[in-house]
C-alpha cells in the first residue's frame, strides 16, 4: 500500500529542513577503561556471578575511551548531524575524567558533528543510591560541573536516560544493577530520578545552557483482549511505563494516585513536582516495540530476556505474527506512529517538540538486511507521525557500535558498526552504508 511515507524499496520521503539525524551510545556500554575511573553500580553488579548472561564485564567494552578518534571518524563518515553519548558520572569524579569529554567534544565539533550528552545513563557511582533523596542533589552538583566545562560547545543536553527502565529493571526486578527486587517499593527510585531531572534542568539553565530534554522509554500498550480484566491490566502497565515518567514532567502530577506511594505521600511530593515540571525544551522518546499486556495469570512470565514474578497485577503476552529481532522483540514500526500520535492526543500543547533519542534492533551479521528493514520501517513510521501533525525534530539510531548490552553482555549486537571484541576492530555493516545513503538523500 503506497502512503505518504512511501513503501520499502522506494526512497524514504523528505523530512523537514533542520531535522536532526543522529546515532546514540552510552558510556558504560562502549568506553571501557574501567580502571581509569571510580566504580559504578554496574561494575559491582557484573562482578557478581550469574548477573550477566555471558559472564562478561564492561571493563574494556569497545575501548572507546582510547579509540574515540576512530569512532568520531565513523560518525563523520556516516554523515550524522549529531551524536548522542553519555557522560559517566564515575569518570567525571575521577582524575582526568572531564578531560576525556573535553577531548571528545572538541573532536566532534572539529568533525562537524553536534555533541548531545546524556548526563546519566544508568552508571551511578557505586557509593550512591537512588533510594536516597540526596542522590538527586548530588546529581545536580555533578551536572553543574559538567556544564561548566562543556557548556561553551554543547548546545543540546539530555538529563537522564530511561528512568523507567532503571527503576523497573534495576530496582524492582533486579535484572540490572544494582540488582534489587523491591517490586513496588522501588517507586522512590522513580521519584528521586525525576527530582534529579528537575534539579538538573535548573542547574543547566543556571549555567547558561539551553535546549534541554530527557530520554524516556515509551511504547504503546496493547490489551491482550477487549475483556475488562485485560484492558485494566494494560491500563495499569501504561501508567507504570508511560504515564509515571511523562506526566510529572509534562503535567506536574503523578498519574492514578501514584503520588500517594511516593516518599512523603501526595502532600510530601507536591513541592518536588514543581521542580520536576520545570519546562523542558524538548521531549526525547526511546522506542523499540509495543507491549501486549493482560490480566495476571498467576505464573512467572518470561519475556524479552526477563522473568516477571507471578505476583504482579498484569502479565506480558507475546505479540504474534510479527518478525522478531535476535532479542525476541517484535518488529512493529507502526507502533511508533501510534505512540507519537497518542502522545500528541493525550498531552496536546503540553508536549514540547519530540526527538526520537533511540530506536534500533539486535541482529547478528555484517550483511544486516534485517536491521535495514527495521530502520527503514521505523523512519517511514516516523514520517507518518510528522504527516499527522506531530512535531518531531530528530531521530537517533541505537546504536553506532555493537556494545555491552547490560545483563545480556556482548550477545546482542545493536550497532551499525560491528566490533570484534577480541581485536577491537570496527567494521561498518551494510546498515551503516544504508543509513549514510539515507542521510545523503535528505540533504
Give, as ranges, the residues between 204 and 223 that touch ligand BGC (CB under 6 A). Answer: 217
Name the nearest CA neighbour of 275 among 200, 187, 206, 188: 200
Considering only CA atoms, which of 277, 129, 281 is closest in space to residue 192? Answer: 129
Q: Which of residues 365-404 bind ligand BGC (CB under 6 A)?
A: 398
Q: Does 405 bind ligand BGC (CB under 6 A)?
A: yes
User: Binding of ligand BGC at residue 357 (CB under 6 A)?
Assistant: no
Binding residue for ligand BGC (CB under 6 A) from 286, 291, 337, 359?
286
The residues with which 292 forms a beta bridge, in sequence order, are: 222, 317
For the record, the C-alpha cell of 49 comes out as 556471578
162, 247, 338, 405: the catalytic one is 162
CA torsion 146-152-158-161 (nearest 10°) is -40
The residue within the footprint of ligand BGC, chosen from 358, 368, 376, 402 (CB under 6 A), is: 358
Active site residue 358: yes
Which stretch in 159-167, 188-196, 295-303, 371-379 sits in contact with ligand BGC by CB under 6 A? Answer: 159-167
Q: With respect to ligand BGC, which residue has the nearer C-beta, 217 or 431?
A: 217
Question: Which residues, in sequence order, are CB contacts of 145 under 8 Å at separation 6+?
Answer: 92, 98
Residue whose CB is less far from ligand BGC, 24 or 135: 24
Greatest CA span in the chain, whole angstroms?
Answer: 58
Indicate whether 161 belongs to the interface with ligand BGC (CB under 6 A): yes
- Collapse the DSSP code of 312 into the 3-class scheme (helix H, G, I; strand E, B; otherwise coil) and give the result: coil
Q: Is residue 238 at the binding interface for ligand BGC, with CB under 6 A as the rule?
A: no
Cα separation, 224 vs 293, in Å, equals 5
What minimum distance in Å lies between the beta carbon of 170 and ligand BGC? Answer: 12
Shortest spacing between CB 245 and ligand BGC, in angstroms = 13
Burial of 17 (0-12, 13-18, 19+ CB in 10 A): exposed
- What does the alpha-carbon distance between residue 268 and residue 187 come to, in Å, rounded to a whole number? 14
**Nearer Cβ to ligand BGC, position 60 or 411?**
411
**Counting contacts by CB under 6 A, is residue 162 touching ligand BGC?**
yes
Torsions phi, psi for 351 (to 5 deg):
-85, 115
26 binds ligand BGC (CB under 6 A): yes
**Does the footprint of ligand BGC cover residue 326 (CB under 6 A)?**
no
Residues in the chain: 443
The answer to whether the CB of 336 falls within 8 A of the CB of 382 is: yes
Provide the minimum distance between the beta carbon of 398 and ligand BGC in the complex, in angstroms, as a whole number.
5
Q: How far is the CB of 423 from ligand BGC (least distance, A)?
A: 22
As annotated, the active-site residues are 162, 358
User: Which residues would be at the binding site for ligand BGC (CB under 6 A)?
Assistant: 26, 29, 161-162, 165, 217, 286, 358, 398, 405, 414
Amino acid at each position: 500500500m503506497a502512503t505518504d511515507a512511501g513503501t520499502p524499496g522506494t526512497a524514504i520521503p523528505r523530512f523537514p529542513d533542520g531535522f536532526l539525524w543522529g546515532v546514540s551510545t552510552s558510556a558504560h556500554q562502549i568506553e571501557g577503561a574501567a580502571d581509569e575511573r571510580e566504580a559504578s553500580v554496574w561494575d559491582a553488579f557484573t562482578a557478581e556471578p550469574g548477573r550477566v548472561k555471558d559472564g562478561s564485564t564492561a571493563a574494556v567494552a569497545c575501548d572507546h575511551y582510547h579509540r574515540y578518534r576512530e569512532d568520531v571518524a565513523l560518525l563523520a563518515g556516516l554523515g550524522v548531524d549529531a551524536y548522542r553519548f553519555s557522560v559517566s558520572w564515575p569518570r567525571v569524579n575521577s582524575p582526568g575524567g572531564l578531560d576525556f569529554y573535553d577531548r571528545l567534544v572538541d573532536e566532534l565539533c572539529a568533525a562537524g558533528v553536534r555533541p548531545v550528552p546524556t548526563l546519566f545513563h544508568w552508571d551511578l557511582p557505586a557509593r550512591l543510591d537512588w533510594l536516597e533523596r540526596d542522590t538527586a542533589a548530588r546529581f545536580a552538583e555533578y551536572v553543574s560541573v559538567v556544564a561548566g566545562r562543556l557548556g561553551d560547545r554543547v548546545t543540546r543536553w539530555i538529563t537522564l536516560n530511561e528512568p523507567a527502565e532503571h527503576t523497573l529493571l534495576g530496582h524492582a526486578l533486579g535484572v540490572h544493577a544494582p540488582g534489587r527486587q523491591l517490586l513496588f517499593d522501588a517507586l522512590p527510585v522513580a521519584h528521586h530520578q525525576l527530582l534529579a531531572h528537575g534539579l538538573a534542568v535548573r542547574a543547566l539553565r543556571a549555567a547558561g545552557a539551553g535546549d534541554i530534554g530527557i530520554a524516556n522509554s515509551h511504547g504503546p500498550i496493547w490489551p491482550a483482549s477487549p475483556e475488562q480484566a485485560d484492558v485494566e491490566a494494560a491500563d495499569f502497565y501504561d501508567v507504570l511505563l508511560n504515564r509515571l515518567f511523562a506526566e510529572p514532567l509534562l503535567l506536574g502530577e503523578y498519574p492514578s494516585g501514584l503520588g500517594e506511594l511516593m516518599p512523603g505521600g501526595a502532600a510530601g511530593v507536591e513541592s518536588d513536582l514543581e521542580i520536576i515540571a520545570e519546562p523542558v525544551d524538548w521531549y526525547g522518546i526511546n522506542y523499540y516495540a509495543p507491549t501486549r499486556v493482560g490480566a495476571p495469570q498467576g505464573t512467572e512470565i518470561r519475556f524479552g530476556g526477563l522473568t516477571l514474578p507471578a505476583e504482579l497485577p498484569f502479565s506480558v503476552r507475546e505479540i504474534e505474527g510479527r518478525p522478531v529481532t535476535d532479542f525476541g522483540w517484535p518488529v512493529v514500526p507502526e507502533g511508533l506512529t501510534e505512540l507519537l500520535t497518542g502522545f500528541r492526543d493525550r498531552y496536546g500543547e503540553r508536549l514540547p517538540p519530540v526527538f526520537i533519542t533511540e530506536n534500533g534492533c539486535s541482529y547478528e551479521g555484517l550483511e544486516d538486511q534485517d536491521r535495514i528493514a527495521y530502520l527503514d520501517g521505523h523512519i517511514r513510521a516516523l514520517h507518518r507521525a510528522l504527516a499527522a501533525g506531530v512535531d518531531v525534530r530528530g531521530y537517533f539510531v541505537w546504536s553506532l557500535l555493537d556494545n555491552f548490552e547490560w545483563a545480556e553482555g556482548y550477545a546482542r549486537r545493536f550497532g551499525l558498526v560491528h566490533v570484534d571484541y577480541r581485536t577491537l576492530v570496527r567494521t561498518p555493516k551494510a546498515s551503516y552504508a544504508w543509513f549514510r545513503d539515507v542521510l545523503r538523500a535528505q540533504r
